[in-house]
Amino acid sequence: MAKRRKHQNPAHRRQPIGAPPGLILPRDGSQPSTITVFAFSSEDIYEASGVSVVEAHALVGQWPVVWVNVDGLGDASVLEQFGAAFGIHRLALEDITNRNQRAKVEEYGDVYFIVTPIFRFGEGLEDEQLCMILGANFVITFQEQPGGDCFDPLRTRIRNDVGQVRKRGSDYLMYSILDATVDAYFPLLERIGETLEDYEAAVLVRTSVAIVSNLHGVKRNLLTLRRAIWPLREAVNALVRDENPRITSDTRIYLRDCYDHIVRVMDLIETSRELGSDLTDLYLSQSSYRLNEVMRILTVFATVFIPLTLITGLYGMNFTTDSPYNLPELHWKYGYIYSLCLMAAVTATTLYYFWRKGWIGKDPNAGPPDGAP
Amino acid sequence: MAKRRKHQNPAHRRQPIGAPPGLILPRDGSQPSTITVFAFSSEDIYEASGVSVVEAHALVGQWPVVWVNVDGLGDASVLEQFGAAFGIHRLALEDITNRNQRAKVEEYGDVYFIVTPIFRFGEGLEDEQLCMILGANFVITFQEQPGGDCFDPLRTRIRNDVGQVRKRGSDYLMYSILDATVDAYFPLLERIGETLEDYEAAVLVRTSVAIVSNLHGVKRNLLTLRRAIWPLREAVNALVRDENPRITSDTRIYLRDCYDHIVRVMDLIETSRELGSDLTDLYLSQSSYRLNEVMRILTVFATVFIPLTLITGLYGMNFTTDSPYNLPELHWKYGYIYSLCLMAAVTATTLYYFWRKGWIGKDPNAGPPDGAP
Amino acid sequence: MAKRRKHQNPAHRRQPIGAPPGLILPRDGSQPSTITVFAFSSEDIYEASGVSVVEAHALVGQWPVVWVNVDGLGDASVLEQFGAAFGIHRLALEDITNRNQRAKVEEYGDVYFIVTPIFRFGEGLEDEQLCMILGANFVITFQEQPGGDCFDPLRTRIRNDVGQVRKRGSDYLMYSILDATVDAYFPLLERIGETLEDYEAAVLVRTSVAIVSNLHGVKRNLLTLRRAIWPLREAVNALVRDENPRITSDTRIYLRDCYDHIVRVMDLIETSRELGSDLTDLYLSQSSYRLNEVMRILTVFATVFIPLTLITGLYGMNFTTDSPYNLPELHWKYGYIYSLCLMAAVTATTLYYFWRKGWIGKDPNAGPPDGAP
Amino acid sequence: MAKRRKHQNPAHRRQPIGAPPGLILPRDGSQPSTITVFAFSSEDIYEASGVSVVEAHALVGQWPVVWVNVDGLGDASVLEQFGAAFGIHRLALEDITNRNQRAKVEEYGDVYFIVTPIFRFGEGLEDEQLCMILGANFVITFQEQPGGDCFDPLRTRIRNDVGQVRKRGSDYLMYSILDATVDAYFPLLERIGETLEDYEAAVLVRTSVAIVSNLHGVKRNLLTLRRAIWPLREAVNALVRDENPRITSDTRIYLRDCYDHIVRVMDLIETSRELGSDLTDLYLSQSSYRLNEVMRILTVFATVFIPLTLITGLYGMNFTTDSPYNLPELHWKYGYIYSLCLMAAVTATTLYYFWRKGWIGKDPNAGPPDGAP
Amino acid sequence: MAKRRKHQNPAHRRQPIGAPPGLILPRDGSQPSTITVFAFSSEDIYEASGVSVVEAHALVGQWPVVWVNVDGLGDASVLEQFGAAFGIHRLALEDITNRNQRAKVEEYGDVYFIVTPIFRFGEGLEDEQLCMILGANFVITFQEQPGGDCFDPLRTRIRNDVGQVRKRGSDYLMYSILDATVDAYFPLLERIGETLEDYEAAVLVRTSVAIVSNLHGVKRNLLTLRRAIWPLREAVNALVRDENPRITSDTRIYLRDCYDHIVRVMDLIETSRELGSDLTDLYLSQSSYRLNEVMRILTVFATVFIPLTLITGLYGMNFTTDSPYNLPELHWKYGYIYSLCLMAAVTATTLYYFWRKGWIGKDPNAGPPDGAP
């Protein structure tokens, strides 16, 4: 587990204590902003990269839907310009510059401000967040890292006019972006589910530090996912139930489907968490079983051999043979054989005792109730 | 526990990330579709197998109630045809092709879309899902595996006009199908309950890896059942409370009974889960008790014999007998008997000490508070 | 723990899968029905046993309140007759024939159908259920086992006109029956509470298999009670809040008192459950403490004696005395005394080490913070 | 833990099963009733002890507020007289005679019936209950034990006209009584909090049976407190929100403050419970750590000494020295020194092995992450 | 863990039981009050320290917003004067003098009374509380300790007219103060998060008393934070939803942002708590793994060496060599070599047995499922 950098601590806030609300600072470690625009109608499409805020804003009104994407949040002045041009509340702008926001949907006047978590597996589970502004005929998205996002298939669909995204308004575009982020959670959970199955198989055959520590890592990731996705569920539900005309009732049906996916994701997370917790129990039960087995072996061994050693010690004593009362067995003709028989008798008694207790001879694994179900 | 195939991972989705919503792909590993129709009125019945979608749709309107059953979802075009002929929303069709949906009831215009989980015990607990479309005078059911479903008794009742199913509308048919799937959960839980009782008996007499691992398997199955049936409860409750006239108030009484059955199933699952968790506790307590017992035996044995061995070692030393200060006991007439008495005295002291501590002689199992209740 | 019979498995249903709803089968293992009637007004009373359904129904209308009690459910035709004569819905009749119903209150047209759990301690905790039909001027009760019910005091009160039961309607009679069943839960919980106190005392003085297994039995019984009584709470609450004029507002005050008793019962169950869970923790803590103590004794013993044994072994070696470098101690005049002193020194060092660690000499039970509270 | 008397079992009910509702039996073990009255206006006050119910009732109407206090509930006829004179519902009277009621507020016509738990530390935590009847211009309080209640400061305030109690109505008097009982919970929790801190300190330095058993006692007391105070919270909240004009809006502000205190008490109980549960975890962790330490010492000791003992045993064997192949070392000039060197080498190897494993030489307590926070 | 002083016990109340409500006592251990005023409009600002209550009250009405700050609560008469001058309810004044209030927002007539917890890390986590009175054009804040509060940046902003605080009313000032206290929680949680990460790393490499006890300390601090901040969440939510015109809808947007921060704080606390609990599980799993390892080493060692010691003991017995049946091996030419071979054979058999069991030779840490995720 690599030590996380300071600004990745989920409790870290960029703004100092007592800073005025709405203070906009560039996100630490983030790159300068690159702005890309997609403006489209059902007939035509305009695409440009590296444009300025002013140019992006100029497209709004000329096209039915404009999607402005901002990669990199290392430049506070760009955010200030967006605030001025598109009328975004300063509190929303402050939230965009802060990592570790909760997922949420907030209305500021006539725009919606939406925050969604995004995850990827780098070294460990890395989380980022997507901030979206939904206006009457535009959607603005803000992300920290430029490349490799999960929106390329969506862009291709817009370019090739696949599905309904070109035929509908900005609310459907917002839904499409949200849906793509939610769909990207499933492969993560598929991978976690496979890992848990592997651990399950491993726990049943051996105990090891690595299993415990990796299982802990999985539980920690599930905790991170749950913390991030739980509020998203509430937020999207609010969007579905909301009466605001900005979102058409037709899009609402699609949002309901998206909500349904988030509920399934939460379900999967909860199930994985319970499975992880069951696996810890299983580990402890197994560990306790094995300790019992180890101790049983030691006890049987020690208990069988210690009396024998005593007998040999007894006949190894050096009492003078002058007295007939001193160790007369040493002078018997069959003294050695007698001592061996004595040892055999003691061993047999001890083994019989342990056999009666069921510690030996009966396979403790035999005959559990039939394996299924 | 056989390794599950990839598409059985509950987090697996067939659609790639960023696919347009409503993309209909054939379910992986599924067979081509076979369509069966049951059209009936209170007087007459028409039954046909291997019909086409168009033929099935043609029956609707001619008969008061038509039940179209589709086995096998390996053919996307059949679903497309259903969508076109019966006016089913693409999102519903997409859900039909995806395994691992949550149970749900959704209204799409004037049809209801209902998803219910189905379970069977194959190698382990296998889950499937039944998708239902309830229209004004038709019910369409979609399942992955053709044979062996739990609807044969219902079909026989329709053929022989037993009960009220022929006398009522499509809503009662939908209820009858739902009721049959819910009734099929009880034998599963009966079997799990018996298994838990067997384990309970087993845990009290021995510890073993097999008990722990099988108990874990049962807990896992219960987790799967709970994840699947919990949303069904909400969904059927919504159906009972819904004011939609598609479902008559008379059928609503029957649905309330069905809801009551689901609540009982959830109750049984929760009770079994708590029992399973109690059994893990019991296992750990037993294991801990047995470890104590093992260690007590070892300690008593070692503590009794080690001093005796020391005594024999003492009189086995080879100090020269020239000096009267060296091991004078070896020259005593009754030296050997003295040494045996010394050992007996040491043993008696040690045993008295352990008897005082209650480790030996008092049966630790004697006299717990009277067995009941 | 005696193996329970199949039909006592709480997941067992009498009806086969896919049976038509409202199928009435005699309860397995149940005796034929015996019908008893109590018809009374504030002035007079009529009591008869072994009457037919028709005779029972004939009394309704002639008397202000008629109480029909049915013992034994082994005869489906009697239930069919009740259904026909008193207008009881088939789903209610089906529920009567099924064991393991949840407690509930349901309205079917103008009658209430009420299911309440009943418990008794036979071999283990046995549960049964009381089904009640509340009509305008009659109450019908169905039970499986004829004798020994908890209604005898109520019958005596009716016969002797004690309290208000003769002066009021069928709703008050229903309340009186419900109240008698709820009051019968208290002695059960009193007994369980006493058992837990006994275990608490036992756990503090010893560990044993019997304690663990009996404690598990108590927890299991509490689980059964909770599963049964929790829905009763909801059901009676619904009855209290219901606006149906069948139950007068005056009786409602009495039902509120009954609800209050059920809440107390649930409280007691929850408290007992938490106490049971605390006792398991206590058992594990004690067990762990005792293991520590056992191991400490073994370790002190072994660590003290093993070096001594080494010394005796050393001077028991048979190196030739020809060389002055070989075991010169053996030839010392005070060699033996020297060796004893060496042993004493080693023992003292070891004991000092353990005394420093606090393992010996300091009573580990001394001086915990003052016993109270 | 002294065995509690039968009637202290929280599940014990005085009334037999099937008794008519409202049956009034004297509380078991309770003393005869003593009635005290306080009648006061803002100008004057009348105080009397040992009065009859009739005399007490005669004061009502003559004075703005009359407080009737009844100590001892061993006399059913006194309760019957109260019922008749002040118009108290029989169900309320029955509740007064029963120990172990839940805290509640109930309206019976125009009087309020209020039950509050009272605690004191005698031998263990003893619970009692205060029953209050709030009428238009009177308050009646019922308690089991006469002396030592927490109302003496309130009586002094009334006598000396401190605060507002003389200037306001019966609702404010009721509030004052309630407030005094709630304030009395804080010292209990203060004491429990101190005990938990003491245990916390104790657990970190040693394990002992006494800690475990006393901690269990504290948890049990917290369970009792929680069971009693949780319903009080609901009850007082109902009183605050109630629209009944019997309680003036001004008194309602005071009741809100009282509710706030109860919420704080519940908070403290929950926090203490979680702390208690953390302490059990801490105990188990410590115990497990100590077992590891004990076993590590035993293992190091045994593993170091057992091979040495083997060597001494080897050279203590009595093989005939006739053969040059038999134990030639015994005849070496430096044989003894060789054997000692061999032992030293074996010991060094073993110790190096354990030092590599980190079992010895490195202080396992050194260098945990810096102590704070 | 330093023993906390009596008045820091969270259950401690200053007022004696039965004290009249609204009794104002100086807070124990608190210093005399120092009053500071900030009066400002958007154009001008007046600042003074050490003023009297009368002087402070005189400013109200002359300036749009007046912030009166009171440090030190050791003087009851100052609070009485505030009550009289600003019309503050006695119950609010009583609450101000009591430590350990729950966070709350209460309306008393036309002023709001707000209590917020404040934390700082001194020796351990120290909690204090900030009490605020929000009137039409004034805010009064009460704190116990004068220096080092988190409001200095806010004061600087007011002085320098940064942000909007000078341009808005008392509600925005109240928000600004609240926001500063909430922002101060984040560094605490950041520090706790880092500590947990350190412990996580530590648990994986060793067990120690220090880890367990420090982890317990962190859990305890989290418990304190949760107890304090949970009610704050409810309180601020009530403020956001409240319809009272004292708070403008514009300020409400800012309060919603503040509420969002509190929810994030709660989220972080819960996540840390679950992580802390997972770490305890991890500790126990590791501890159990290590015990198994220790015992395995001891068992292998003892089991290998004990039979060898027996063999040496056997051939160390002193049976008379007169009889050919007594220990003939001692007279063999290769007797010693034979005995060494016997030992080698026994050792090989034992080691093979343990190798078959997988206790030796196979690295138990090898090959867990691939480390990620």
What is the full DSSP assignment across D167-228?
GS-HHHHHHHHHHHHHHTHHHHHHHHHHHHHHHHHHHHH---HHHHHHHHHHHHHHHHHHHH
Pairs of CB atoms within 8 A across B/C:
216
Q: Closest Cα of chain A to E283: distance in Å?
A: 10
Asked if pLDDT for residue A211 goes beyond 70, the answer is yes
Contact E60, E66 (CB under 8 A): yes
Give the pLDDT confidence of B273-315 residue by residue, as tens digits.
999 999 988 888 888 888 888 899 999 989 999 999 999 998 9
**Rg value, chain C, Cα:** 35
Buried b (16+ CB within 10 A) or exposed e, E46-60: eeeeebebeebbebb
* Percent helix, percent strand, percent coil in chain D, to nearest 5: 55, 15, 30
- CA separation (Å) from C280 to B284, C32, E278? 10, 45, 21
**Residue in the structure block whose two tokens are 């002013």:** A54
Asked if pLDDT for residue E247 goes beyond 50, the answer is yes
Other Cβ atoms within 10 Å of C206 Cβ, number: 17
Closest chain E residue to the Cα of A95, Cα to Cα: E257
**Residue in the structure block whose two tokens are 């008997």:** B337
- CA separation (Å) from A92 to A37, A115, A131, A239, D28? 21, 10, 9, 17, 68
Asked if pLDDT for residue C191 goes beyond 70, the answer is yes
What is the model's pLDDT at position C365? 45
Contacts with C316 from chain D: Cβ below 8 Å: 312, 316
Asked if pLDDT for residue D167 goes beyond 80, the answer is yes
* Residues 6 or more apart in contact with residue C366 via CB below 8 angstroms: none
Give the pLDDT confidence of E10-44 residue by residue, as tens digits.
777 777 877 888 888 887 777 888 999 999 999 99
DSSP string, A196-208: HHHHHHHHHH---
Region for C18 from its dihedrals, namely left if φ exceeds 0, alpha if ψ lies in -120 to 50, beta otherwise = left
* Percent helix, percent strand, percent coil in chain A, to nearest 5: 55, 15, 30
Region for D109 from its dihedrals, namely left if φ exceeds 0, alpha if ψ lies in -120 to 50, beta otherwise = left
Asked if pLDDT for residue A237 goes beyond 70, the answer is yes
Mean pLDDT to the nearest integer, C252-270: 93
Task: Please state whether the predicted TM-score (pTM) of the whole model is above 0.95.
Answer: no
Buried b (16+ CB within 10 A) or exposed e, A20-50: bbbbbebbeebeebebbbbbbeeeeeeeeee
Option in C162, C193, C264 nearest D20 (CB)? C162
Asked if pLDDT for residue C8 goes beyond 90, the answer is no
Query: How are strands ordered across the β-sheet holding E45-49?
Result: E45-49, E34-40, E65-71, E138-143, E124-134, E111-122, E104-108
Locate B1 and state its tokens: 């526990």
Whether C197 and D290 lie within 8 Å, measured CB to CB? no
Whether C193 and D312 lie within 8 Å, measured CB to CB? no
Whether E260 and A211 lie within 8 Å, measured CB to CB? no
Mean pLDDT to the nearest integer, D339-358: 91
Locate A94 and state its tokens: 């402050």
Averaged pLDDT of chain D: 86
Locate A160 and state its tokens: 């090739």
Locate E154 and state its tokens: 């806010």
- CA separation (Å) from A53 to A40, A46, C361? 18, 16, 81
DSSP string, C288-332: HHHHHHHHHHHHHHHHHHHHHHHHHHHTT----TTSTTS-GGGGS
Asked if pLDDT for residue E2 goes beyond 50, the answer is no
**Beta partners for residue E48, in sequence order:** E37
Closest chain C residue to the Cα of B314, Cα to Cα: C312
Residue (of A191, A179, A251) closest to A225 by Cα position:
A191
Mean pLDDT to the nearest integer, A344-369: 75
Asked if pLDDT for residue B319 goes beyond 90, the answer is no
Give the pLDDT confidence of B81-128 residue by residue, as tens digits.
999 999 899 999 999 988 788 899 998 888 999 999 998 887 778 888
Instruction: Write the single-letter amino acid at D225.
Output: L
Query: How are strands ordered across the β-sheet holding C34-40?
Result: C45-49, C34-40, C65-71, C138-143, C124-134, C111-122, C104-108
Question: DSSP label at D144?
Answer: S
Give the pLDDT confidence of E280-332 residue by residue, as tens digits.
888 888 888 888 888 999 999 899 999 999 999 989 888 877 788 888 888 88
Our CA dihedral for A339, A345, A350, A352, rounded to 10 degrees, sits at 160
Our CA dihedral for E324, E325, E331, E336, rounded to 10 degrees, sits at 180
CA atoms of C35 and C33, how far apart (whole Å): 6
Residue B151 three-state SS: coil
CA atoms of D207 and C364, how far apart (whole Å): 7
Interface with D, mutate which of C154, C303, C314 (most D CBs under 10 A):
C314
Neighbours of chain D (3+ CB pairs under 8 A): C, E
More confident: E128 or C171 = C171
Residue D116 three-state SS: strand
Other Cβ atoms within 10 Å of A156 Cβ, number: 11
**Beta partners for residue E104, in sequence order:** E115
Contact C267, C193 (CB under 8 A): no
Q: Closest Cα of chain A to B38: distance in Å?
A: 31
Locate D283 and state its tokens: 């105990």
Option in A12, A207, A332 nearest E292 (CB)? A207
Locate B36 and state its tokens: 């069966």
Give the pLDDT confidence of C76-102 residue by residue, as tens digits.
899 999 999 998 999 999 999 887 888
Q: A133-137, D88-92, D281-285: which range is least confident on average?
A: D281-285
Considering Cα of D231, then D237, then D243, then D248, what sign does the dihedral take?
Answer: positive
Residue D109 three-state SS: coil
Q: C20-29, C357-366, E123-132: which range is least confident on average?
A: C357-366
Asked if pLDDT for residue D66 goes beyond 90, the answer is yes
Q: Closest Cα of chain B to C161: distance in Å?
A: 37
Asked if pLDDT for residue D373 goes beyond 80, the answer is no
Locate A178 and state its tokens: 């949200």
Q: Closest Cα of chain A to B84: distance in Å?
A: 17
Give the pLDDT confidence of D191-242 residue by residue, as tens digits.
999 999 888 888 887 767 778 888 899 999 999 999 999 999 999 999 998 8
More confident: D282 or D209 = D282
- CA separation (Å) from B315 to B325, B327, D367? 14, 7, 49
Contacts with E323 from chain A: Cβ below 8 Å: 332-336
Locate C47 and state its tokens: 């009591």
Contacts with C207 from chain B: Cβ below 8 Å: 289, 292, 364
What is the model's pLDDT at position A368? 38
Closest chain B residue to the Cα of A370, Cα to Cα: B195
Buried b (16+ CB within 10 A) or exposed e, C262-290: bbbbbbbbbbbbbbbebbbbbbbbbbbbb
Give the pLDDT confidence of A315-324 residue by residue, as tens digits.
988 887 778 8
Option in B10, B295, B306 nearest A268 (CB)? B10
Q: Closest Cα of chain A to E148: distance in Å?
A: 13
Whether C333 and B326 lie within 8 Å, measured CB to CB? yes
Q: Closest Cα of chain B to A359: distance in Å?
A: 10
Give the pLDDT confidence of B2-52 residue by residue, as tens digits.
445 555 677 777 778 778 888 888 877 778 889 999 999 999 999 999 999
Give the pLDDT confidence of D311-333 residue by residue, as tens digits.
999 898 888 777 888 888 888 88
DSSP string, A82-139: HHHHHT--HHHHHHHHSSSPPPEEEEETTEEEEEEEEEEEESEEEEEEEEEEE-SSEE
**Confidence band for A148, pLDDT divided at 50, 70 and 90:** low
Mean pLDDT to the nearest integer, A6-21: 75
Other Cβ atoms within 10 Å of C60 Cβ, number: 20
Asked if pLDDT for residue E373 goes beyond 80, the answer is no
Percentage of chain B modeled with pLDDT above 90: 46
